Amino acid sequence: MSFPILSVMLAIPALAAIGCLFLSPSGARWLALVATLADFVLGVALWASFDIGGPQWQFVENAGSIGVFSWKLGIDGFALMLIMLSVFLMPICIGASWVAIEKRVQEYMAAFLVTEVLMIGTFAAQDLLLFYIFFEAGLIPMYLIIGIWGGANRIYASYKFFLYTLLGSLLMLVAMLWMIQYAGTTDIPTLLQTDFPVHAQTWLWLAFFASFAVKMPMWPVHTWLPDAHVQAPTAGSVILAGVLLKLGGYGFLRFLVPMFPEASAQFTWLILGLSAVAVIYASLVALVQSDMKKLIAYSSVAHMAIVTIGLFAFNRLGIEGAMIVMLSHGLVSGALFLCVGVIYDRLHTREIDRYGGLAINMPRYALLFLFFTMASIGLPGTSGFVGEFLSLGGTYQVSTTITLLCTTGIILGAAYMLYLYRRVVFGDLTKDDVRAMPDLSLREIALLAPIAAVVLWMGVYPESFLAPMRSDVGTLVARVARAKPAGDSLPKAGTGIVPAAHAEAHK
């Protein structure tokens, strides 16, 4: 067996988390930063040595099993990209908490490091129960981060977060146990090949859906997200939007669609319908928010709906688009939460109306915030466009109506983001405390600039990100091909004869 890089990536933050508890606050900060950077470097090595077009599962490690449970890790292209997202955002989160967190710093850093372990573990697990443990345990540190280091109403927010996720988790556990009974294995690659009976798929699908839809979050089980974001500290929001929300999408991609293709096809319209509602509903709600974090939280709901429609288009365009939306949203909304954090640290309010005219005294901030605003709107040249475009393009082949409804998101998205930007950054500088706010510090630039660079890279040359996933998308598309519904827009062959002038279109 070669170098167990995945286990090492799990071990480093795990050990650092224990170490943090025994250090001084500043020692804990530095240890956390070094550990997360080390994981990032390993992540880059992982990506560099990933064999594109090679076997589906790479870097496989199997440390043997106890009972039905086994420590088995391994990644495919989807997991690789999401692990990259996690290890990229983690050092940024530590940096964002550098001065903003003052109480119980050691435990805070430990909580973040544990989150990192669990996120990487979730994406790398090849054993169903191992996955479940990472997946569910991942919520505990997040839950504590909101509950301990959060805002004034943090208890309600963490409580809501807990309640929402609990029910889904229990249902999913039961479904998993049934699957293990039926298939006689917990090995995920084997389960991916297993054809579950169609009638059972429906129930299994619904149980998994209950869990993943909440994480996503899909309308109408999204209301925990705005509260959680509003109450979470800045870095908590970044990791929540950047990585935790991707657990839902990953769950759809890894389990729901390939394991239950018939049920997925059967529920396609449920997903497409809920997503279309989510885009319009969440965008309109975002339009009327007066709290910056809530606005971005609702925009997340709208963006994640673009992920679900892409996935349930069951074609290459849609699935690749969905993955790019996930990666892009992780970066862009993470960066937007950082942007909010920057001014929150200075004025200690998230009220949009308290700001205005920041372009005058914070020009660097205005530029970066504008860039991420445009990326969120999906301007071509940024990552947001590539994802949205592919995802909606894939959906068009299934349903033009759903595509039309979801594409209104590009209008509404522009409206709420530009309205936000205008109120915060444009206008005249009339308030003295706002005027006194200094521009970005070097630390803040060091947090935002790398994200901007990656967003631009993904927007101009997405091939780097699409290539590792290409063969996995092919596998997934082939898996669901037998069940996927026909599109409503398929063209019929033409006659090649231009109809007479002013012919009726309705024929």
Partner 1 sequence: MHSITFIVFLPLVAAIVAGFSNKSFGAAFPKAVTTGALFLACALSWPVFIHYLSGGDTLPVVTVLKFIQSGTMSVDWALRQDSLTAVMLVVVTSVSALVHLYSWGYMSDDPDQPRFFAYLSLFTFAMLMLVTADNLVQMFFGWEGVGLASYLLIGFWFKKPTANAAAIKAFVVNRVGDLGFMLGIFGTYLVFNTVSIPEILHAAPGMAGSTIGFLGYRFDTMTVLCLLLFVGACGKSAQLGLHTWLPDAMEGPTPVSALIHAATMVTAGVFMVCRLSPMFEASPFALSVVMTVGAATCFFAATCGLVQTDIKRVIAYSTCSQLGYMFFAAGCGAYGAAMFHLFTHAFFKALLFLGAGSVIHAMHHEQDMRYYGGLRKSIPVTFWAMMAGTLAITGVGIPGILGLPQVGFAGFHSKDAIIEVAFASGQTGTWLVGVIVALLTSFYSWRLMFLTFWGRPRWEQSEHIQHAVHDAHGHGDHADDHGHAAHAHDDHAHGHDAHGDGTAGYHPHESPLPILIPLIVLSVGAVFAGWAFHSYFIEPTSGETYWHGAIAFREHLMHAMHEVPVWVKLSASIAMLLGLFSAWYAYIRNPALPAAVAEQFSVIYDFLLHKWYFDELYDKIFVKPAFALGRLFWHRGDEQTIDRFGPNGSAWLVSLGSRAAGKLQTGYLYTYAFVMLIGLTAAMTWAITR
What residues numbered 340-369 form the site for partner 1, per CB under 8 A?
357, 359-360
Which residue of 247, 265, 410, 455 would you call a contact of partner 1, by CB under 8 A?
410
Task: Give min distance, CB of 141 to partner 1, in A.
Answer: 9
Q: How far apart are CA 5 and CA 59, in angstroms?
A: 7
Torsions phi, psi for 382 (to 5 deg): -115, 165
Binding of partner 1 at residue 471 (CB under 8 A)? no
What whole-number distance in Å separates Cα of residue 28 and Cα of residue 425? Answer: 35
What would the DSSP string read from start to end of 6-63?
HHHHHHHHHHHHHHHTTS-HHHHHHHHHHHHHHHHHHHHHHHHH--TTS-SSEEEEEE
Q: Does 269 bind partner 1 (CB under 8 A)?
A: no
- How many Cβ atoms sit within 10 Å of the Cβ of residue 49? 12
Count the Cβ atoms, other than its own, within 10 Å of residue 495. 7
How many residues make contact with partner 1 (CB under 8 A)? 105
**By CB under 8 A, what part of segment 298-327 binds partner 1?**
315-317, 320-321
Among 66, 103, 348, 438, binds partner 1 (CB under 8 A): 66
Check residue 51 for interaction with partner 1 (CB under 8 A).
no
Quick one: DSSP state of residue 381? Answer: T
Piece in contact with partner 1 (CB under 8 A), picked from 189-197, 256-264, 287-295, 442-450 = 287-295
Q: Look at residues 461, 424, 453, 423 and name the one whose alpha carbon lies nearest to residue 335.
A: 453
Q: Torsion over CA of 323, 327, 329 and 332, rounded to 10 degrees?
A: -150
Give CA–CA dist 339/293, Å, rounded. 10
Rounded to a whole number of angstroms, the minimum distance from the CB of residue 110 to partner 1 is 14
Interface pattern 380-409 for partner 1 (x via CB under 8 A): xx---xx--xx-xx--xx--xx-xx--xx-
64 binds partner 1 (CB under 8 A): no
**For partner 1, what does the binding mask look like between residues 141 and 180, x meaning CB under 8 A?**
--xx--xx------xx-xxx-xxx-x--xx--x---x---
Which residue in 80, 462, 472, 480 binds partner 1 (CB under 8 A)? 462
Here's the x/- map for partner 1, 224-253, by CB under 8 A: it reads as x-x---------------------------
- Part of the chain binding partner 1 (CB under 8 A), chosen from 27-35, 330-338, 442-450, 488-496: 488-496
The structure tokens listed for 208 are: 């998994």
The CB-of-480 to partner 1 minimum distance in angstroms stands at 15
What is the C-alpha to C-alpha distance for residues 421 and 430, in angstroms, rounded to an integer?
17
